[in-house]
Amino acid sequence: MAVPSHTTSYYAASANDKSFRAPLNDNITADVCVIGAGYTGLSSALHLAEQGFKVVVLEASRIGFGASGRNGGQIVHSYSRDIDFIEKHYGKHTGTEMGKMAFEGGRIIRRFVAQYNIDCDLKDGGIFAACNTKQLHEMEQKKALWEAHGHTRLEMLSASTLQNHVGSTRYKGGLLDKSGGHFHPLNLVLGEAAALESLGGVIYEDSAVTGVQEGDKAIINTEKGSVSADFVIVAGNAYLGGLIPKLQQKAMPCGTQVITTAPLNKAQQKELLPQDNCVEDCNYLLDYFRLSGDGRLIYGGGVTYGAREPDKIESLIVPNMLKTFPQLKGVKIDYAWTGNFLLTLMRLPQFGRIGNNIYYAQGYSGHGVTSSHLAGKVLCDAIQGQAERFDVFAGLPQYPFPGGRTFRIPYTAMGAWYYTLRDKLGI
């Protein structure tokens, strides 16, 4: 039997654990069955196992196969829509409660790394880089907003001060979040999997779920086995496919592209990112970049709607990289790949419950690293009967994209074109 493999990414090539967990070939029972071994699934499973639950995780491919093992590896707080937007559209109570949770995901990541000795090259410091004066003003507003919600480890950077952090003349300044940071995303999720297993949790790879039967005891079927569980957590996100049709219509998979250079020498690393911070710009279709643990530049960006994989990833990303760092002209690109995230119409996460015991969390819209770890804690609390925070998320509207599956891609692409034009014009 052929073992499913990860995408040909730098992360897969440098993974700490390349071992394969066997597929499910039996009919078993569990307190909780989690569908999907990414950040949402494993954060949920690990939080539950810490509380004594018997947890089984079913993964269709490999641990971290989707966005959790392919993303930019940056700790970016809050949500794709910030707290002021949430309060304006959904009321002060919802804004306040989501504001209380907006910075928790990063703390959960750091706790997991410290408590379970996860080797994932975790480093502190993240920068939001402004491409124009309008964006710089927006970063000043973000700083005030986050500080009003108790997040104070922030520092505005002028264009000249930013040069101490980013060796590029592209930016007008930025915002340094000292509690942000970066890490090897696949090694983080593999470390979380090992932590779960150390607590008695079991993970089955190559075990795609073929159906979920609702009931007091839910039955989760795979090709060669099944799990009977008191609770189910659906955590497939952009890779869930049509397993739960009512979830599929609420969100759209989108692709983002990433490249990784050959290792750079110490002088080059110091020239590009002197403080070894990670960076993302403030455009609607943003670029993001950082150094890897072995001194490569990891540079990502771009969006393909509908999760279409471009033919030539390098041709999409290298020009942006050279716009930021022209000194890298001619550098060798060792890896290039696409990873899918799940976009919602309102760009806010979707939490909910189907029946009495099937929970889901999805649609982080590009802010999944921290939000997914928060989701795991919120779902764990809800299963234990503490649903107040879950209800805040579940109370957000979950609109389908207009035009259905046929027109949601062109409509969304038109919207992205509009915001990209605004970014270029600085308006």
The model's confidence at residue 414, banded by pLDDT at 50, 70 and 90, is: very low
**Over the stretch 350-369, which tens digit does the pLDDT of each residue have?**
999 999 999 999 999 999 99
Based on its alpha-carbon atoms, the radius of gyration of the chain, rounded to whole angstroms, reads: 21
Least confident of 226-240, 250-264, 320-334: 250-264
Q: Mean pLDDT over all residues of the chain?
A: 93
Q: In which element (H, E) is residue 396 found?
A: none
The reported pLDDT for the residue numbered 306 is 61
CA angle 84, 87, 91 (to 5 degrees): 170
The encoded tokens of residue 255 equal: 């692709």
pLDDT for residue 421 is more than 60: no
The string over 207-219, giving b where at least 16 C-beta atoms fall within 10 Å of a residue's C-beta and e elsewhere, is bbbeebeeeeebb
Indicate the helix (H) or strand (E) that contains 170: none
pLDDT score, position 310: 59
Residue 44 has pLDDT above 70, yes or no: yes
Express as a percent the part of the chain with pLDDT over 70: 92
- pLDDT surpasses 90 at 93: yes
The predicted model gives 295-308 an average pLDDT of 83
